[in-house]
């Protein structure tokens, strides 16, 4: 087995760390940090590594390992995760630094609107894992998404995934694009990333139904079918 090491950044100074290891057709990234501008770089806030090699070979990417929580090791993660979707491994303390993000939560549209719910799996996960702030999408909503917020005022800071046609899907995509956030949490039954392009780091929440009382859903359906048979 041959091992290839590529220092995409972090060789000139102690910042902007980004290293790639390749073996057996797989690629692993170690750290993904930003650099800091010097006095000659007027108007520049951060220096971001060149991700073009990673994006070109993203089908090989097995994951990212973060060695520590300083910005020169984690600061570029939001920018890289706009281009690739992969796993991240880090120590518990470092994970807390990564978690401390401003989050947009997208929930299932019909559940929030016709279903009358004011929460879903996405917001529960965001609160459980310590999001610093839930970004309110309402000031950025356009078209039918904006109309949905006005009609269903109980939705609050959750973005309903309304997609009953090409226009509405495009309005949802544009609304997400306008919202400034570090991470998008997707709590919808389908993976939105497969139907619209989301140009921000994303994470998807899944959930299972656990029946804790009787009659169960299966029993209710069975009773309904039996009544239908009697009517027929």
H-run or E-run covering 150: helix 143-151
What residue ranges in the chain does DSSP mark as E strands? Answer: 4-9, 18-23, 26-30, 61-65, 88-89, 102-108, 133-134, 159-161, 183-187, 202-204
Given a contact cutoff of 8 angstroms between Cβ atoms, the answer to whether 62 and 27 are in contact is yes
Residues 121 and 187 grouped into a single domain: yes
Residue 92 confidence class, pLDDT cut points 50, 70, 90: confident
Q: What is the arithmetic mean of pLDDT over 128-138?
A: 83
* 84: containing domain: 1-99
Which band of pLDDT confidence, cut at 50, 70 and 90, is reported for residue 198?
A: confident
**So what's the pLDDT on residue 126?**
82
What is the predicted pLDDT for the residue at 7?
92
Q: Which residue has the tokens 């009358």?
A: 116
Is residue 157 domain-shared with residue 186, that is, in the same domain?
yes
- Asked whether residue 47 falls in the same domain as residue 119, the answer is no
- Domain CATH for 7: 3.60.15.10
Question: In the prediction, which pLDDT does 232 show?
Answer: 47
Query: What is d(CA 122, CA 103) in angstroms, rounded to the nearest whole number?
Result: 10
> 114 and 92, same structural domain?
no
pLDDT of residue 55: 93
Domain contains 215: no
186 in a structural domain: yes
pLDDT tens for 148-193 read 999 999 999 999 998 778 899 999 999 999 998 888 889 998 888 8
137 and 202 belong to one structural domain: yes
Confidence of residue 208 (pLDDT cuts 50, 70, 90): low
**Which pair of structure tokens corresponds to residue 155?**
């939705």
Percent of the chain with pLDDT over 90: 34
Q: Please tell me whether residues 66 and 105 are part of one structural domain.
A: no
* Mean pLDDT on 135-149: 94
The string of pLDDT tens digits covering residues 4-37 is: 999 998 777 778 899 999 999 999 999 998 888 7
Phi, psi of 189 (to 5 degrees): -60, -35
Structural contact between residues 33 and 71, judged by C-beta atoms closer than 8 angstroms:
yes
Residues 108 and 205 in one domain: yes
39 upstream amide cis, omega within 30 of 0: no
Give the model's pLDDT for residue 98. 63
């Amino acid at each position: 087995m041959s091992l290839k090491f590529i220092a995409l950044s972090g060789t000139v100074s102690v910042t902007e760390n980004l290293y790639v290891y390749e073996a057996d057709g797989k690629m692993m990234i170690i750290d993904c940090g930003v650099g800091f501008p010097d006095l000659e770089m007027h108007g520049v806030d951060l220096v971001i590594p060149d991700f073009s090699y990673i994006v070109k070979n993203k089908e090989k990417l097995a994951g990212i390992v973060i060695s520590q929580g300083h910005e020169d090791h984690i600061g570029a993660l939001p920018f890289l995760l706009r281009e690739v979707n992969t796993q991240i491994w880090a120590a518990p303390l470092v994970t807390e630094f990564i978690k401390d993000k401003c989050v947009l939560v997208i929930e299932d549209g019909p559940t929030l609107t016709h279903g009358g719910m004011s929460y879903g799996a996405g917001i529960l996960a965001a609160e459980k894992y310590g999001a610093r702030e839930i970004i309110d999408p309402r000031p950025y909503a356009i078209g039918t998404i904006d109309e949905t917020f006005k009609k269903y005022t109980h939705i609050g800071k959750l973005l309903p995934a309304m997609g009953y046609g090409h226009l509405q899907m495009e309005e949802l995509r544009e609304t997400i694009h306008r919202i400034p956030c570090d991470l998008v949490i997707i709590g919808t039954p389908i993976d939105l990333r497969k139907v619209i392009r989301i140009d921000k780091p994303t994470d998807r929440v899944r959930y299972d139904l656990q029946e804790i009382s009787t009659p169960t859903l299966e029993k209710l359906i069975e009773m309904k079918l039996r009544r239908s048979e009697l009517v027929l």
